[in-house]
Amino acid sequence: MATPSTCSLLMLCLPLLGGVASPGASAADIGAFGTRFEVPLVSMREARFQRTLHQQYDFSCGSAAVATLLTHHYADPVTEEFVFEQMYQQGDQQKIRKEGFSLLDIKRFLASRGFLADGFQLPLDKLAEAGFPAIVLVAEQGYRHFVVVKGLGQSRVLIGDPAGGTRAMPRASFEAIWQGRLLFVIHGRVTPSAPGPVATEGAMQAARFNDADDWRAAPQAPLGLAISRSGLDQLTMPKNDGGNF
């Protein structure tokens, strides 16, 4: 696989979000008409990391991106810690400590689990056509790090960022930070029952892309429900007697 030099120059991921972590999910006890029921409550930060694994170290965005891809898009649950240990043991440890994981490290790990993966210089629209998620390298605030492209909307890109969680950003903004225009995708599998790679169409049906569960972490503002400015002059306030508010 031809990997652009930008991937091998991976230094540090985005600094982890500061502040005290939000408390765990809770439930609100609501009573109405003599009936009580609980409604689960989840903070926005917790929602962002429900389907994106949070990186544990500054240089572990690669392992967290792989764990996110396999766990939430290919029904192959793995932890970031496991991926990290395996890629570190199989890779150039001195280089990893200095520069972080590369796409070659990721490719080797996926191959060890029977996944065929490569990098392709293709436009984003190809992901929507194929229905595949992808790992990409982006550069934000001076740092290069790996994220997972989880979905594409008409004007937004949904990414799983190991540092910031699941978030959507304008397509133009994503294009500006996307390094090398490289889409690293799983395009086939090797199974014990098959002598060679399984055809993409049959093997990749399980891939989850543009999944509604992912988009819930990045809802779009319902601007269409806003009151038209032209109708504001029709709104009146009730008038109280005696000059009182």
Active site residues: 61
In whole angstroms, what is the distance from residue 97 CA to residue 87 CA?
12
Going 106 to 108 to 111 to 113, the CA torsion angle's sign is negative
Q: Which of 139, 145, 4, 120 is nearest to 62 (CA)?
A: 145
3-state secondary structure of 154: coil
Centre a 10 Å sphere on the Cβ of residue 210 and count the other Cβ atoms it contains.
15
Place of tokens 């496991």: 82
Helix, strand, coil percent content, the chain, rounded in steps of 5: 35, 25, 40
Backbone dihedral region for residue 161 (phi beyond 0: left; psi -120 to 50: alpha; all else: beta): beta
